[in-house]
A and B are shown apart, each in its own frame.
Chain A
């Protein structure tokens, strides 16, 4: 599947939220979209046969953050990369759980480690860090704490 083919097969109503469909090494294509239309893009991609969500990741670019989704199609036997930018001071994006239920834990992880909030997530709780953990440790602004400091902060929040 070529990026042009993919761009042609996406419904035209998505044009306002699509920012580009371009080639990306290792993937069939990389689809960039505005976060406002995230759920529509997810539905359209799912309808194209990309039924398996392999991964959700967050990238901290300091001035903004990026959420990436890796999806797999059994028919085309290829991966597709979806990505959207969110501002660092309001890192929100619509949850993908209604489209791919397996997004649940991936989003919990991205939320606690990179601090991206997923709206309408059914159960946004800590997955790998204890309840009340006050940090988003994979952000670039996270400093390595002295163990004692980390302990105190973890216990008292």
Chain B
């Protein structure tokens, strides 16, 4: 293998990667046939008058050329298994097995590879202390930055003199200030561009257990990329597909198809102005009972849920207390609200309590009037750290200090808790004690958008005062259907006996049949909740297995063991791209996300694994094996403590997962 540092894309002559030319690139027609079709279609459209419910013509040139038949989809599954992704190592025996499905949702029948995600009652949430790397690692990391800064400045110095046209857009030109200043873009130009092949890689197909990357290449040092026309399928340990509901087949996809046929793909406007539909109301009621609140509202984008609802909750004279690592959407919303904001140290209850004592006693700045409201905004599971919210600690503080609590469950909803109802479920807290539960559907549910749940009065207030209700487009029916179908599969639908009201009393219980539109016809395994439970138990197992396994191999990871997000620390920025490229160039390619400053602190560059229920134990083994090899090459194993050889980890996976926290 050539040196991984030298590669930007895997060598093309090696045949370990499957290559298929994508079918959608073949559309090209003569101008004449195009014009003929054009006029025909227009005539057709005119002649068919307003009798039908819609009068737009059914013409599409591209669609005729790019239609995918059912066969294509099945053929999408590779016939060879050279990368070891298409078939499980222990061949399936009883059930009917399709490798197309296996690529999206791994086949894993062994009931031992399951775990229940729940906090042990009566125990404290483990305090995380971040393991520091040896000093030479820190030193080389800083030196690495220093070196890059120097090189960057030298290149800028000569570049500006010898290639001024490359710097044109950074300098004032013809009376215009540059859109992007030389200084602001230094990091992007001189750091990120060097390793841009590791970021924002385009993909195709379902972001399931495996994912197909579109191969690309650059002939101008990563300033621009072109697609080479081939694809590489790799094990996907990066997408937020926690429960494996990203799928083109199965009960949920069937329901979505039915909804497309019934409702089309448009929502036609803002909720208050002509975009309200019965489907939306049904979905909102289902979400409310899923999270155990009185009412919920759904917005068409997760980011916008935060950025448009927070300003409706707090205003001048209020205070927002925010975890220092909160998501950008929360910060965006708080900034728009114009309130005061204070931060406390990440998930640190001591820091939070001392801050609370300070702000309540001091009151508003200058005037010292008491705060009108204090809103604490935290996340259930932090997406870069893998830390679980210390909810028991916060609930205790909430009793004493009376602040309102807003939990962003973007990553935790579905992915955590014995019933998949997020951190609240994980810790067994009554959801009604929390003022606002927010979450997104982009992750565990394989859909899009976000929700806000709380008491009915509050949610009604937000329907009117949130920016989204009046101005933002509402969610489209297919996406709503995906949410309802996947959510009902997690909850299970009760055989219709008891009244809906009764069901609402037993919070993490099944959905009532009337909560689902009658036309959603889930297959039995989804309807009775058995598959949903299986998914919850699989992701819990995989999460613990991966983080424990990595620790036993000697890697420094962050976060709690139950978190499906497992960040593995790399420190040196240079190792990021090498790690990424080596993972991708393996016989079984593995697709990983590497992150560095500014998403993380300067020195703690990391690779972030997102475990999914769709992974099998074998998949986690594959990841561990790859990490082990690459970790040796890149000198990544710095965790003190007992190390286990790979085989021992593989063989005692169950024991490892069931081990208590020290």
A and B assemble together: no
A contacts, CB < 8 Å to B: none
B contacts, CB < 8 Å to A: none
